[in-house]
């Protein structure tokens, strides 16, 4: 005989002492964490088939970046659809009707923690606690789709978005940054950015020589902190004979030292491997997308692509702002 897992009196006791019956005036108080997390991910378009995002491949040709505003009504319908599972009668409809505004305002906060959940840096409870205390209401969400071999060739591309406020750059929260396919990256930001950066991944700090042409490399002249010296000529990287792509390290050092002799105040002498390392460290490249604001609909209209390296003094102060 099967034993019932709960008897009548026990069920009654449980029901009468269930703390979930408090507070009785919040219909969404019992929203299960799994459901809430799923709906928040849906809000960020996680799992939505790509053909629904880009209905025609010509919208996103190879080697292109497309900025966009997120249609909130579209994502609200996604959530409605998800909650419509198993909706067979008026009882479910009445329930949905009653809780929908509470669920929507709750998801407006929870959707901000989807990225930290995706990166598994925090548990859902921790992330939600910080999101629930966020006083800011849901604003517009923007983002971009990048289709390029950059996505596959440079994994862990760094993306940041900024809003201009009194001449300073205020960082916007990144809500999603994910590789959808081998060469397609999607990014979502909390707000309308004025400037978007795509930065070559740091990976610690790697060594490298910029390619100056087929089979030729040059190094910019740097000062003691690694910043390029303005106006100083670049150094051609000498290679060992034999065509095996081997850098003639000793000769390169000799040439870098010659740069020091030509400009002793700015360029440090080649004293050893540390000085050599500073000269050969590859600075990450930062691509900058900037809006003109001249669009009749306002907001981000990326038409200018200004480029700078991360070590550029012009953007260094902004970088320090972000780091702080």
Partner 1 sequence: MADLVPPARGEMRLYDAMDLPFTMGRYRLTTRVDASFSSGTGALSSERQFEVAGPRFALAPDEVASVIPPRNAAGAFAGTLPQIVLGRRTLPWERSLGAPASSGAPPAAGDPPAIAGDAPWLALLVFSEAELTLLERMPLEQIVPDDVFTRLGRPAGVVCDAIEADTSLISAIVPSREELALLAHVRQVNVEDRALAGKDPDGWFAVVVTNRLPEPGSRTHAVLVSLEQRTDVVPANPPSFVDPTAQPGRRGLLGQIGALAGGLRASGFDVPPTFPPVRTRLVALHHWAFDVASGGTFRERMQALDVALMGDLRDADGPPVTDTGHLPLELHDRAGSVEQVWYRGPMVSRPLTRDPLGPYHSADQARRVSPETGAEDVSYAAAFEVGRLLAAADARLAQELMRWRRDAYDQSGRLSMLDAVRTALPLAPELTAELPHAIAATVAVGAVARLAAGAGASADPSGLVTLASAPGLNAEAVAQAWHLGSAEEARTLLAGTTLAAPVAQVAAPAEAAPSAEAIAALASAAPPAPPRAGRGKRRKR
- The interface with partner 1 within residues 14-53 (CB under 8 A) comprises 15-16, 20-22, 24, 27, 30-32, 34-35, 38, 42, 45, 47-49, 52-53
Query: Binders of partner 1 among 60-79, rule CB under 8 A?
Result: 60-61, 63-79
DSSP letter for each residue of 2-47 = PPPSS-HHHHHHHHHH-GGG-STT-TTTT--HHHHHHHHHHHTTTT
Candidates 87-95, 112-120, 122-130, 167-175: pick the segment binding partner 1 (CB under 8 A). Answer: 87-95
Q: Which residues 257-296 are close enough to bind partner 1 by CB under 8 A?
A: 257-258, 261, 269-278, 280, 282, 285, 287, 289
Instruction: Name residue, tokens 């008026």.
Output: 90
Contact 209, 255 (CB under 8 A): no
Residue 164 makes contact with partner 1 by CB under 8 A = no
Residue 315, phi-psi category: left (phi > 0), alpha (psi -120 to 50), beta (remainder): alpha
One residue of 54, 159, 229, 310 binding partner 1 per CB under 8 A:
54
Residue with Cβ nearer partner 1 (168 or 277): 277
Burial label, 76 (beta-carbon count in 10 A; 0-12, 13-18, 19+) = middle
- Work out which of 95, 136, 316, 317 binds partner 1, going by CB under 8 A: 95
From the CB of 70, what's the least distance to partner 1, in Å? Answer: 6
Chain residues 294-323 in contact with partner 1, contact rule CB under 8 A? 297-299, 301-303, 305, 307, 323
How many other CB atoms are found less than 10 A from the CB of residue 231?
8
Minimum distance from CB of 231 to partner 1 (Å)? 20
**Total number of residues shown for the chain:** 324
Region 183-202 residues binding partner 1, contact defined as CB under 8 A? 192, 198, 200, 202
As a whole number of angstroms, the distance between CA 157 and CA 235 comes to 28
């Amino acid at each position: 005989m099967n034993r019932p897992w709960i008897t009548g009196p026990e069920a009654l006791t449980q029901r009468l002492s269930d703390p979930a019956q408090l507070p009785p005036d919040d219909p969404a108080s019992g929203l299960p964490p799994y459901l809430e997390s799923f709906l928040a991910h849906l809000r960020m378009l996680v799992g939505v088939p790509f053909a629904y995002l880009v209905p025609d491949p010509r919208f996103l040709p190879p080697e292109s970046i497309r900025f966009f505003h997120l249609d909130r009504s579209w994502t609200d319908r996604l959530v409605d659809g998800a909650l419509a599972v198993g909706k067979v009668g008026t009882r479910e409809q009445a329930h949905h009707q009653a809780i929908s505004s509470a669920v929507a305002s709750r998801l407006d906060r929870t959707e901000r923690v989807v990225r930290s959940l995706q990166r598994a840096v925090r548990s859902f409870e921790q992330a939600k606690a910080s999101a629930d205390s966020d006083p800011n209401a849901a604003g517009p969400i923007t983002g971009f789709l990048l289709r390029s071999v950059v996505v596959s060739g440079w994994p862990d591309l760094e993306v940041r978005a900024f809003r201009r406020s009194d001449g300073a750059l205020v960082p916007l929260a990144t809500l999603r940054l994910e590789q959808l396919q081998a060469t397609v990256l999607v990014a979502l930001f909390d707000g309308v950015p004025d400037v978007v950066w795509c930065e070559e991944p740091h990976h610690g700090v790697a060594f490298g020589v910029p390619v100056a042409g087929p089979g030729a490399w040059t190094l910019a002249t740097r000062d003691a902190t690694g910043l390029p010296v303005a106006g100083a000529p670049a150094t051609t990287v000498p290679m060992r004979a034999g065509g095996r792509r081997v850098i003639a390290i000793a000769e390169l050092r000799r040439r870098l030292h010659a740069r020091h002799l030509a400009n002793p105040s700015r360029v440090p002498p080649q004293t050893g491997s540390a000085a050599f390392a500073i000269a050969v460290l590859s600075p990450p490249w930062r691509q900058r997308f900037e809006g003109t604001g001249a669009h009749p609909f306002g907001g981000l209209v990326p038409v200018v692509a200004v480029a700078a390296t991360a070590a550029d003094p012009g953007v260094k102060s902004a970088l320090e702002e972000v780091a702080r």
